[in-house]
Structure 1
Amino acid sequence: MNLPNRHGMMIIISSPSGAGKSTICKMLLKNESSLQISVSVTTRERRQSEIEGQDYFFISKDDFLEMKNNNQLLEYAEIYGNSYGSPSKIIFDQLNQGVDILFDIDWQGARQIYQNCSKYNIISIFILPPSINELYNRLQKRAEDSKEVIQKRLQNAKTEIQHFNEYDYVIINSKVEDTFKQIEQIINTERLKRHRNPYLIQFIEGMISDKASC
């Protein structure tokens, strides 16, 4: 029996900088072969540890503005003076093929996706640090930002955290392995929801019409 693909999901994961979002996304991609990351475009400088086309597509401000004006971005936001956005065409193509797309974005991008993609399957997860002090320690250990930038990230974190109630799930990331397992369970459960599996109608109709006797 040929069954149609289930609908692809848009899985949004957000957190303040340093709360563990990127680490958990990498763990999910490593363990979930059916999950694809939405690689954002950004105007900021590439960090030493980042890979072009894998972590981000690094583009000029003019190129970003052109994509924005041509409606080629599903969502976009300005963070710490740099622009970020999700290219729309490849995302919609993958969703229509039943691929689940992972979004590593902030609350501004998440809000835009909910506004612009209401007909698609969306789940959202917000990751909290155990405390602001622990967030500060993690940002220091990352050793990628100056003291001034770290202080700015901490100030912004308090604003970002206030948007927790816009998300379906909220998890306190005390231990990254536990948080990863919780998010993996959420994704697997959401995949099984009836409305996300249109093939069930055809499957059940075939089962009911089966003339085999008990």
Structure 2
Amino acid sequence: MSPEPAHGKLLILTAPSGAGKTTIVRHLLRTFGELAFSVSATTRPPRPGEVDGVDYHFLSNREFLDRVAAGAFVEYEEVYPGRFYGTLHEEVQRIRKQGRTVVFDIEVKGATNIKEYYPEDSLAIFVAPPSEDVLFQRLRDRSTEDDESLRVRIARAGEELAYANRFDRVLVNDDLDTALAEAELIARDFLRD
């Protein structure tokens, strides 16, 4: 399936878990009214406070795989064993048809795939931690995972750090206020083009 006619742009933010991309995405959405969040689909269960259709489209594994077979995804990945994440074509089309810029908060392989699918209309930003040690400590401090899940997440985060050079920009999140200000400058320049 080829990309739909261009209307809005695509701003892709990616990072290993714990690098701060979600905080940055939320800040950009509050700052720029022309941005709209692309709600990903996932097979993981909702965390406390998450709302279906707002935070994610929560699907069963069967529903997700049926949509894969139907070609409903721009991209998808089995990020963790039995846990799928993906971007639905209908979600991207809905936002672009409004003439708004689609904002993605997405894992690195998915971000790579979206950038390849929309090379002309997108800007991909890799949010990097100041170091691996800081990233791993942030993951431990979140206390959202059991020991095994945390071990898997840390291993994956280590692998994802190697992807940084595949993106248009790298934004180091050492000091949050500085990272937010830099993200605003990057987004403003992209939206002006």
Any idea what SS the aligned residue of 1:102 has?
A: strand
Amino acid at match of 1:141: D
Correspondence list, 1:153-164, <5 A = 153-164=153-164
1:183 and 2:188 matched:
no
2:21 equivalent in structure 1: 21
2:44 equivalent in structure 1: 44
Q: Is the 8 A contact 1:132 1:154 kept in 2?
A: no
1:74 and 2:74 matched:
yes
Instruction: Let me know the Cα RMSD of the aligned residues.
Output: 1.6
Any idea what SS the aligned residue of 2:104 has?
A: strand
Structure 1's consecutive aligned runs of 4 or more residues displaced over 3 angstroms after TM superposition are none
Which whole-Å CA distance do the structure 2 matches of 1:91 and 1:11 have between them? 11
Please, what TM-score do these two structures have when normalized by structure 2? 0.90
Which whole-Å CA distance do the structure 1 matches of 2:171 and 2:89 have between them? 28
Structure 1 residues 53-87: Cα deviation after superposition (integer angstroms, max 9, x where no partner): 21111111111111111111111111112001111
Which whole-Å CA distance do the structure 2 matches of 1:93 and 1:135 have between them? 34
Larger Cα Rg: Structure 1 or Structure 2? 1
Any idea what SS the aligned residue of 1:162 has?
A: helix
1:101 equivalent in structure 2: 102
Q: Which stretches in structure 1 are left out of the alignment for 5+ residues?
A: 1-5, 194-214
1:111 equivalent in structure 2: 112
How far 1:7 sits from its partner (Å)?
4.0
- Aligned pair count reads 187
2:124 equivalent in structure 1: 124
How far 1:135 sits from its partner (Å)?
1.4
Any idea what SS the aligned residue of 2:180 has?
A: helix
Which whole-Å CA distance do the structure 1 matches of 2:49 and 2:16 have between them? 20
Any idea what SS the aligned residue of 2:124 has?
A: strand
Any idea what SS the aligned residue of 2:160 has?
A: helix
Which whole-Å CA distance do the structure 2 matches of 1:122 and 1:68 have between them? 23
How far 1:159 sits from its partner (Å)?
1.1
Q: Is the 8 A contact 1:8 1:98 kept in 2?
A: yes
Q: Which stretches in structure 2 are left out of the alignment for 5+ residues?
A: 1-5
Amino acid at match of 1:110: A
How far 1:161 sits from its partner (Å)?
0.9
1:139 equivalent in structure 2: 139
Which whole-Å CA distance do the structure 2 matches of 1:130 and 1:16 have between them? 12
1:90 equivalent in structure 2: 91
Q: Is the 8 A contact 2:39 2:91 kept in 1?
A: no
Please, what TM-score do these two structures have when normalized by structure 1? 0.82
1:64 and 2:64 matched:
yes
Amino acid at match of 2:75: E
Which whole-Å CA distance do the structure 2 matches of 1:112 and 1:137 have between them? 29
Which whole-Å CA distance do the structure 1 matches of 2:30 and 2:191 have between them? 18
Q: Is the 8 A contact 1:136 1:150 kept in 2?
A: no
Which whole-Å CA distance do the structure 1 matches of 2:167 and 2:189 have between them? 17
Amino acid at match of 1:111: T
Shift in CA distance, 49/130, structure 1 to aligned 2, threshold 3 Å: farther
1:12 equivalent in structure 2: 12
How far 1:43 sits from its partner (Å)?
0.5
